[in-house]
Amino acid sequence: MIKKIELLLPEVINQIAAGEVLENPASAVKELVENSIDAEALRIAVEIKSGGHQLICVEDDGIGMNREDAVHCLQRHATSKLRQTDDLLTLTTMGFRGEALAAIASVSQLEIQTFNGQESTCVKVDTGRIVSIGPCARNRGTTIDIRSLFQNVPARQKFQKSAASSGAQVLRVLQTIALAHPNIAFSLQSQGRCVFQSESCLDWRVRAKEILGPLSFEVVQVLDSYAVHGLIGAPEEAKGNRSGQYMFLNQRPIFSPLISRAVKDGYATRLNEAKYPSFLLFLTLPPDEFDINVHPQKRDARFQNESKVYRLVERSISKMFESMTPQNFASPLQFSDPMPLPWDVQMERPLNLQCKQEGDIRQKESQPSFILPSVSRKAIALIGSFALFEGDYFSLLDLKGAEARIFFEEAEEKDSEKETLSWPIEIELSLEEAKTGEELSQSLKKVGVEARFLGGRMLAVDAAPRGLDESEVSDFVARFKIERKAAAAISRFCRSRKKKYSLEEAALIEQRLAKCKDKNYDPLGRMIAREIREEQLGQWITGDEDS
Ligand code: ADP
Ligand code: MG
């Protein structure tokens, strides 16, 4: 049956909006806390019960509201932050849509207590209807108390998570916001217990360390009026999911697949394909170069110049790794320290970041690079496929991993040196493989193997890369057929080789590694060299910190 068109009642509109803005208690907390930040609060205390389903209370010491605004703010599209559409281009506040409070109020029991230094107001609302307005006693600031969220939205209620996981979401949301606002003190109580507390501080790194623990490397990059700064984790600490990834655009938490990809590309082959690096990145862009208003929760961003954003982020990370020397790679014993950082080297133009606290991030003088000319570094011992080098310090080099890196980088060069084989090696493909024989020969070229698909099931190899002995060609092709990707094929092939090394060979490998762009990782992102200190050996053998 077709019904007559009617305008929706404001209550219904608010409830629909609630469906967009409010997914769960955590999204309500996000809206309320962002309002407190916009109100210039320096202290924000959040309290929840049953993961926020029973109670969410956000208290701030911000500018408060007068009586009129305290009532007004409950109406849809009531905002003090936006007047004209042009303002949308220059907004610096967190909120601007003016729909969060109205939406939350329409699906809960809400109470606002606010004092702006002159008048105090208490407004009580029952699922969207104001039930009382009066004065209250409190210091300057605003407290918003929400009970029984989604009480009148059974559909939403049905899909809510358990109190524990919804509490965990609230914590994540609050900590994410806290990362971008180190100057504000935050706390979270759940069931009367303090679960998170962070005092205000001047240095974003201090806040980051408190919340995320130590992240190894600091990055910073400027490209015209675009800038990025932050911290990234060591490749070997990458996770199996995105839980360690935090990105912000002008202090707003966002998720952008573009940035994710730029980060991953920045790690390049240092990172295992299946892993997600941990990072904390703050992008600063001119407000008119992006649009944050594409998602009701302002989580997505649309960039005017995507390729510039990509380059900025990718470069910040790749440059950091390129400028790194193995001594920046701390051994596991040092990981608990704040990591040293080539801050100066990275800086192209001074960035007015928040001021640094002394002693937080140590600046290290530039270090000698790991691979010194062989005159000063000598291979002095072999332990299987590991070589011990002596120079200004001792280091252990994983020769198989090093060969993989050399092979990988040499193969990538366009006109890499190849050894023409004395006689083409013929390789028989399976019927299945033969279907893509032409493609196989093309992708083999990319790893330095000159191969021709002869039709039928035959492949002929005419030349092999320098890293490959004639007798190894068919084994390598077999491995490549399984892996299909250069990094994995080369890495696994080199590591599976049964090889005995001599000291001379080790020295040669070290010299060739010295010419590589990335001397510290195999193509799959595993570390291949470590500095060794005598004290560490003592500790390792005795298991005692004092030795
Ligand atoms: P928006 O943040 O998009 O403006 P909201 O619905 O979240 O919309 O808030 C509506 C208005 O209520 C805000 O513009 C602001 O003027 C006022 N407000 C909300 N929370 C606070 C607070 N904690 N302190 C002071 N004013 C607030
Ligand atoms: Mg808001």
C-alpha angle 374/378/384, rounded to 5°? 120
Average pLDDT over residues 487-513: 90
80-89, 339-348, 374-383: the lowest-pLDDT one: 339-348
The mean pLDDT of the chain is 81
CA distance 222 to 232: 17
The verdict on 172 and 40 lying in the same domain is yes
For a substitution probing ligand 1, which of 32, 72, 73, 116 has the most ligand atoms within 8 Å of its CB? 73
Secondary structure class of 533 (helix, strand, coil): coil
* Highest-confidence segment of 57-66, 263-272, 293-302: 57-66
Out of 198, 224, 240, pick the residue that ends a domain: 198
Determine the angle formed by the axes of helices 306-322 and 257-267, rounding to 10 degrees: 30
Instruction: For the chain, state the CA radius of gyration.
Output: 30
Q: What is the pLDDT of residue 140?
A: 95
Which helix (H) or strand (E) is 51 found in, with range? none
Lowest-pLDDT range of 21-25, 284-288, 450-454: 21-25
Pick the more confident residue, 490 or 293: 490
pTM value > 0.75? no
User: Rounded distance, CA 465 to CA 202, Å?
Assistant: 54
| Pairing mode, strands 109-115 and 129-134 | unpaired
Q: What does the pLDDT read at residue 126?
A: 94
Most confident of 81-95, 148-162, 180-194, 279-293: 180-194
| 142 within ligand 1 shell (Cβ under 6 A) | yes
Indicate whether 262 belongs to any domain. Answer: yes
Domain count, the chain: 3
Q: What is the pLDDT of residues 320-353, one digit of tens each?
A: 998 875 544 433 322 223 322 222 222 222 222 2
Report the Cα–Cα distance between both ends of the chain, in Å, rounded. Answer: 85
Query: Both 382 and 485 in a single domain?
Result: yes
* Residue 27 and residue 21 in contact, taking contact as beta carbons nearer than 8 Å: yes
User: 15 CB less than 6 Å from ligand 1?
Assistant: no
- Categorize the per-residue pLDDT at 198 as very low, low, confident or very high, splitting at 50, 70 and 90: very high
The CA distances from residue 298 to 23, 60, 149, in Å, are 13, 22, 21
CA distance 411 to 413: 5
C-alpha span between 28 and 109 (Å, rounded): 13
State the average pLDDT over residues 451-472: 86
pLDDT tens-digit readout, 21-44: 687 899 999 999 999 999 999 999
Query: What three-state secondary structure class fits 115?
Result: strand
Q: What percent of the chain has pLDDT over 90?
A: 42
Query: In terms of pLDDT, which residue wins out, 299 or 147?
Result: 147
Q: Of 198, 225, 258, which residue is a domain's last?
A: 198
Four-residue CA torsion sign, 256, 258, 259, 264:
positive
Tell me if 108 is assigned to some domain.
Answer: yes
Q: How far is the CA of 24 from the centre of ligand 2 (A)?
A: 16
Quote the pLDDT of residue 333.
28
**pLDDT value of residue 142:** 97
Q: What pLDDT was estimated at residue 353?
A: 29
pLDDT of residue 15: 64
Q: Are residues 218 and 151 in the same domain?
A: no
**Average of per-residue pLDDT across 388-416:** 86
Residue 421 lies in a domain: yes
Same domain, 336 and 483: no
Non-local CB neighbours of 58 within 8 Å, separated by 6+ positions: 29, 32, 33, 36, 44, 45, 46, 47, 143, 144
Question: How far is the CA of 295 from the CAs of 15, 20, 170, 527, in angstroms?
Answer: 17, 9, 20, 40
Separation of alpha carbons 392 and 307, rounded Å: 43
Residue 2 is assigned to a structural domain of this protein: no
Residue 263: what pLDDT?
95
Is residue 370 domain-resident? no
How many angstroms separate the Cα of 502 from the Cα of each of 372, 385, 498, 531?
A: 20, 9, 14, 21
Place of tokens 């920046």: 328
Specify the pLDDT at position 494: 93
Pairwise pLDDT comparison (474 vs 367), residue with the higher score: 474
12, amino acid identity: V
Whose CA is closest to 190, among 224, 222, 161, 166? 166
Range of the domain at 245: 204-363
Would you state the pLDDT for residue 477?
92
SS3 452: strand
Whether the predicted pLDDT of 282 surpasses 80: yes
How far, CA to CA in Å, does 171 sit from each of 46, 178, 195, 547?
Answer: 10, 10, 8, 41
pLDDT given for residue 373 in this prediction: 35
Query: Of 220-224, 391-395, 412-416, where does mean pLDDT reach its minimum?
Result: 412-416
Residue 65, ligand 1, Cβ within 6 A: yes
Residue found by looking up tokens 């060299």 in the block: 529
C-alpha dihedral sign at 401, 404, 410, 414: negative
**Same domain membership, residue 149 and residue 261:** no
Q: For a substitution probing ligand 1, which of 101, 113, 115 has the most ligand atoms within 8 Å of its CB? A: 101
Q: For residue 542, tell me if it sits in a domain.
A: no
Pair (356, 209) in one structural domain: yes
Mean pLDDT of 110-128: 95
Report the atom number in ligand 1 closest to the C-alpha of 96: 3
What is the 3-state secondary structure of 146-179? EECCCCCCHHHHHCCCCHHHHHHHHHHHHHHHHH
Amino acid identity of 202?
L
- State how far the Cα of 445 lies from the Cα of 464, in Å rounded to an integer: 9
Shared domain check, 491 and 414: yes
DSSP structural state of residue 3 = P
The SS3 of residue 364 is coil
Q: What is the CATH number of the domain that holds 154?
A: 3.30.565.10
pLDDT at site 542: 81
CA nearest to 71, candidates 124, 6, 5, 11: 124
More confident residue, 214 or 479: 479
Band the pLDDT of 56: cuts 50, 70, 90: very high
288, 212: one domain: yes
Distance (angstroms) between ligand 2 centre and the Cα of 200 equals 22
> What gap in Å lies between CA 75 and CA 14, rounded to an integer?
9
Distance CA 148, CA 509 (A): 67
Q: Could you tell me if 283 and 253 are in contact, meaning their C-beta atoms sit under 8 angstroms apart? A: no
Per DSSP (E only), the strands in 23-167 are: 43-49, 55-60, 109-115, 120-126, 129-134, 141-147
Q: Are residues 275 and 390 in the same domain?
A: no
Predicted local confidence at residue 419, as pLDDT = 73
Residue 264 lies in a domain: yes
Give, using CA atoms, the residue closest to atom 7 of ligand 1.
100
Specify whether 296 is located in the same domain as 389: no
- pLDDT reading at 355 higher than 90: no
Last residue of a domain, one of 146, 171, 198: 198
- CA distances 196 to 25, 171, 252, Å, are 17, 8, 20
Helix (H) or strand (E) holding 314: helix 306-322
Cα–Cα distance measured from residue 228 to residue 445, given in angstroms and rounded to the nearest whole number: 37
Residue-wise pLDDT tens digits, 146-196: 999 987 777 666 666 788 888 999 999 999 999 999 999 999 999 999 999
Whether the CB of 486 sits within 6 Å of ligand 1:
no
Q: Which tops the pLDDT comparison, 105 or 297? A: 105
Whether pLDDT at 367 is above 80? no
Predicted confidence band of residue 257 (pLDDT cuts 50, 70, 90): confident
Write out pLDDT tens, residues 507-545: 889 988 988 888 888 898 888 988 888 777 887 788 776
Hey, whose CA ends up nearest to atom 12 of ligand 1? 73
Establish whether residue 41 lines the binding site of ligand 1, counting it when its CB lies within 6 angstroms of any ligand atom: no
Asked whether residue 330 is assigned to any structural domain, the reply reads yes
Query: 120 has which bridge partners?
Result: 115
Same-domain check for residues 208 and 184: no
Assign 425 a pLDDT band (cuts: 50, 70, 90): confident
CATH code for position 425: 3.30.1370.100
Residues 6+ apart with CB under 8 A from 454: 426, 460
pLDDT tens per residue across span 6-15: 555 666 666 6
Residue pair 182/162 in contact by the 8 Å Cβ criterion: no
The reply to whether 246 and 336 lie within a common domain is: yes
**What is the position in ligand 1's atom list of the atom closest to the CA of 34?**
2
CB atoms within 10 A of CB 330: 17
Angle 318-407-240 from CA coordinates, rounded to 5°: 50
Ligand 1, atom 21: closest residue by C-alpha: 35
